[in-house]
Amino acid sequence: MKHDSPIPSLLVIATHPIQYQAPLFRALAASGICLTVGFLDLPDPSRQGVGFAVGFSWDVPLTEGFSWVKLDGIVADGAMANTFGGRRWRRPIVEVRKHSPDAVMVMGWNQLGLLQAWLAAKWCGIPLIVRGDSNAKRGRPRWKRWLHRLLLSLPLRYVAVGASNTKFYLDSGVPTNAIALAPHFVDNTFFSSRAASCNRASERAKRGASPEDFCILFAGKFESKKRPADLLAAVASLPVEARARIHILMVGAGPLEADLRLQAEAVGLRVSWAGFLNQTEIPAAYAAADVLVLPSDNGETWGLVVNEAMACGVPAIVSDQVGCADDLVRHGQTGLVFPMGDIPALGSAISEMASTPERRRAMGEAARSLVTSEYTIERSVEAIVDAVYQVTGRQREGRGAAIASE
């Protein structure tokens, strides 16, 4: 380990390049620490598109602006790559020792290769930091809670992304002083500037929505945990005259699409199906929308589309089981929260938003203010860099003595 340098070296282990993580890695590299990111997998377009029903490559850079390496990983075929055992590390201890970092940060534990990184860091005596987004909303059997307590005793620091994630750590026996809050974020400037450059009326017209329509956006995979059918059912439950001025914009693709189309057609809902939109394309959907609806169950550990929408000045309606509901969606201020699966309550929230345009716009501006002031790259990077200095026992320039590693 490179104890001869006052600047600590950090090895980050991630499953594969992810559009939401790339801005974090670039900012960490620019922060002054010596960063290397190790990826277990570099998916091709066909594997990248699993769950979206279409192969694609992200149209923003995912591996530029920071140093990275391809780890010696074993990756399963097709959709199996996304299962727990789908990405694993062939020689974790050998590779960790080769890089000889002062600290290791692992991006979660939802795949075997990430847990191997935990164990390799502990075996090598290297301080371990973990950044995941599991939350306290999901009920877990006793054996799993016990296993979490055992596993979560290994890292020295946890980087929490929000309130429910913090509660999950605390409930699992992690001491308060081992948790640093580095809130989930998106590149707010990227989304807000691109949405602002769009012609709202034109974007709505392309999708069949008039200036007077109330445009609801759903953005994500059409899969069971996101409960897109709940949105269609809620709109269908509204009076005919209210329904007539609602336009639903469905952005995404997935296994439920055929059923969703049949559901919408059966009751005559006004829906446009945009398909999968890449990162540079989706801000136009936010520019067209009046509100984002995310009805997901507790499998939605956060819901970064809410950050994206809010950065564009669009308020959100989310279920109480969505991970970010406790952080981003301040009921009546930045959006509305409803009990997951409660179709009448979702319909009522939609009616409230549709019938109060001035209040809705005020919520959108409050939402934009919240994410651009508190849910930022800068705040997240600051917390992670502090954690790195603390676990390595280094002194950060301009600050007091770092906390020595336990």
Distance, CA of 68 to CA of 35 (rounded, Å): 8
Query: Is residue 251 a contact partner of residue 277, using CB atoms and an 8 Å limit?
Result: yes
Say yes or no: 143 and 210 in one domain: no
Q: What angle do CA 389, 392, 393 make, to 5 degrees?
A: 80
- Taking all residues of the chain, what is their mean pLDDT, rounded to a whole number? 94
Q: Give domain status of residue 403, yes or no.
A: no
Distance (Å, rounded) from C-alpha 392 to C-alpha 339?
Answer: 43
Per-residue tokens: 255: 């296994």
- Whether residues 213 and 137 share a domain: the answer is no
Residue 406 has pLDDT above 80, yes or no: no
Supply the Cα-derived Rg of the chain in whole angstroms.
Answer: 22
Q: In a 3-state reduction of DSSP, which class is residue 111?
A: coil
- The answer on 259 and 154 residing in a single domain is no
Together in a domain, 168 and 198: no
Domain range for 140: 9-185+376-392
- 286 with 172, same domain? no
Say if 212 falls within a structural domain. yes
Containing H/E element for 234? Answer: helix 228-236
pLDDT in tens, 244-273: 999 999 999 999 999 999 999 999 999 999
What's the pLDDT tens digit per position in 345-370? 999 999 999 999 999 999 999 999 99
C-alpha pair distances (Å), 369 with each of 53, 138, 285, 375: 35, 29, 20, 10
Same domain, 380 and 365: no
Q: Hey, how many other C-beta atoms are within 10 angstroms of the C-beta on 373?
A: 10
The verdict on 17 and 128 lying in the same domain is yes
Let me know if residue 267 belongs to a domain. yes
Return the CATH number at 110.
Answer: 3.40.50.2000
Q: What is the value of pTM for the model shown?
A: 0.94
In a shared domain, residues 360 and 387: no
Residues 214 and 120 in one domain: no
Alpha-carbon distance of 378 to 367, in angstroms, equals 18
Do 159 and 295 lie in one domain? The reply is: no
pLDDT tier at 308, thresholds 50, 70, 90? very high
Q: Are residues 352 and 290 located together in one domain of the fold? A: yes
41 lies in the same domain as 167: yes
* Domain count for the chain: 2
